Amino acid sequence: MTPLLDPSKIHDIWLPFTERSKLFSPIPQENLIQGSAVKLNSNALELHDGRKIPFDFAVVATGTKSSLKSTAWTKSQGLQDAEELCAALKKASNIAIVGGGQVGVELAAKLCSELPNTHVDLLHRSSTLLSKMAGMNDAARKKILAVLQQFPNITIRLQDTIVNSDIPRKDISFERCLLHTQSGNQINADVTILTTGNIPNSKFVADGLGKSVLDQNGYVRTNPDGSVEGFPHIFSAGDISTLDSVKLAHQAVNQAEIVSKNISVLIEAGYFGQNDIQVGKLKLQKYSPAQKWLARVNLGQLGSVMKIWFLVIHSKK
Ligand SMILES: Cc1cc2nc3c(=O)[nH]c(=O)nc-3n(C[C@H](O)[C@H](O)[C@H](O)COP(=O)(O)OP(=O)(O)OC[C@H]3O[C@@H](n4cnc5c(N)ncnc54)[C@H](O)[C@@H]3O)c2cc1C
């Protein structure tokens, strides 16, 4: 969220595809393909422009969509989008955030901290904030609510959501609109941001391998060794996979390590998809989901709230 109000930071987090020396140095240039996957078949990946890439092994690591993730294809477009968002936020008198999960709560705290003259409305359907966040407990949720309420420029509306049918159904809308809430309130918002949850980028997987590879929420059903259920040569790691309910970069990196080691084991054993080596007999590493004893939520200038086992700690800045 750092670049939200300071787009110059985008320069540091966007690595152009061409700067491969920084990220992908061991991979030859001709093996780096920029494109959007539209269908994952069991032996070839189809791209948006009709190209087909055959493979012996594949790894699905397409993450999730969310309102604060850029969908730009180039650094210049990413910068332009960030500048547009930053300008709209700085100009706004009232910002509505719909969804009080971790992204909504941290975003509200950041905006309240850095834009003290802007009013922020945070709406959440459930009776407690962070109702679905892994590792949370009621004491931590209560503490976070109490700390957030210390911001003079926030209104937190629990068990409420917007009911308009006329507002643009975009993740972020810069159009000034009158929002009607379920409980009968009205909010004049200059910017409306939907933080109602992440949507897995998995349609292209189901389109090729069948809907049964996805769970009820659209995540790729993944065995503890990282392979996709029913496909020992296709792996899945990071936010898109069911390996862990905790969706954080650290977990994604651990999963990537296990997946790359397991693919090496399969290659060394001579397994290439269709031959008759029994994968079950190979010694593949297994991922253990993150312990949920620790959870942390950043609350801008009011510090952060951490839950460690049953202890709730508010560390002030
Ligand atoms: C606002 C916010 C704050 C966060 N803060 C933290 C934090 O402080 N600490 C932390 O550890 N984690 C944080 N996270 C979570 C962290 O960003 C994710 O856990 C991590 O990025 C997951 O990595 P990934 O590689 O699985 O997916 P992603 O990082 O989402 O990468 C997936 C990539 O696949 C691309 N892609 C998607 N579909 C296709 C397709 N069809 N074809 C080709 N490419 C495709 C996407 O464009 C993207 O580049 C935060 C997330 C959000 C949204």
Is any atom of ligand 1 closer than 6 Å to the C-beta of 273? no
In a domain, 275, yes or no: yes
Q: How far apart are CA 266 and CA 262, in angstroms?
A: 6
Three-state DSSP state, 74:
coil
- Is residue 190 located within the same domain as residue 44? no
**Does residue 163 fall inside a structural domain?**
yes
Note the pLDDT of residue 25: 67
Residue 133 lies in a domain: yes
CB burial of 248-280 (b: ≥16 within 10 Å; e: otherwise) equals eeebbebbbebbeebbeebeebebeeeeeeeee
Please tell me whether residues 50 and 102 are part of one structural domain. Answer: no
Residue 246 in any domain: the answer is yes
Ligand 1 binding pocket includes 252 (Cβ within 6 Å): yes
**192 shares a domain with 105:** yes
* CA 49/CA 242 separation, integer angstroms: 29
Q: Which amino acid, one-letter code, is at 175?
A: E
> Tokens 């960030």 map to which residue?
82
User: Does 97 share its domain with 162?
Assistant: yes
- With vertex at residue 199, the alpha carbon angle to CA 122 and CA 222, rounded to the nearest 5 degrees, is 135
Q: Are 171 and 193 in contact (CB under 8 A)?
A: yes
Q: 63: Cβ below 6 Å to ligand 1? A: yes
Pair 143, 243 in one domain: no
Query: Among residues 197, 225, 241, which one ends one of the domains?
Result: 197
The answer to whether residue 172 sits within a structural domain is: yes
Per-residue pLDDT of the chain (317 residues; tens, 9 = 90+): 766 788 788 777 777 766 666 666 677 777 888 899 999 999 999 999 999 999 999 999 999 998 777 888 888 888 888 888 899 999 999 999 999 999 999 999 999 999 999 999 999 999 999 998 988 999 999 999 999 999 999 999 999 999 986 766 678 888 899 999 999 999 999 999 999 888 999 999 999 999 999 999 999 999 999 999 999 999 999 999 999 998 989 999 999 999 999 999 999 998 876 666 777 888 999 999 988 888 999 999 999 999 999 999 999 97
**Residue where a domain stops, chosen among 154, 170, 197:** 197
pLDDT, position 157: 97
Same domain, 233 and 255: yes
Chain mean position to CA 119: 26
Q: Which of 155, 181, 197 is the last residue of a domain?
A: 197
The protein residue with its alpha carbon nearest to ligand 1, atom 52, reads: 103
Q: What is the CATH number of the domain that holds 242?
A: 3.50.50.60
Look at residue 24 and tell me if it is in a domain: no
Same domain, 40 and 118: no
In a domain, 303, yes or no: no
Atom of ligand 1 nearest to the CA of 62: 34
Nearest CA to ligand 1 atom 14: 248
- Same domain for 153 and 56, yes or no, is no
What's the 63 CA to ligand 1 centre distance in angstroms?
Answer: 5
Same domain as 92, residue 155: yes
Domains contained in the chain, number: 2
pLDDT of the residue at 278 = 79
126 and 172 in a single domain? The answer is: yes
Range of the domain at 45: 33-66+199-281
Q: What is the 185 CA–ligand 1 centroid distance (Å)?
A: 35
First to last CA, the chain: 18
Same domain, 149 and 102: yes
Q: Which two tokens stand for residue 26?
A: 């061991």
Whole-prediction pTM? 0.90
297: helix, coil or strand? strand
Residue 122 lies in a domain: yes
- My answer on whether 118 and 209 are in the same domain is no
pLDDT value at residue 293 = 83
d(CA 38, CA 48): 6
Looking only at Cα atoms, what is the longest distance across the chain? 67
Task: Quote the ligand 1 centre to 239 CA distance (angstroms).
Answer: 7
In 3D space, the residue among 290, 303, 309 whose CA is nearest the CA of residue 144 turns out to be 303
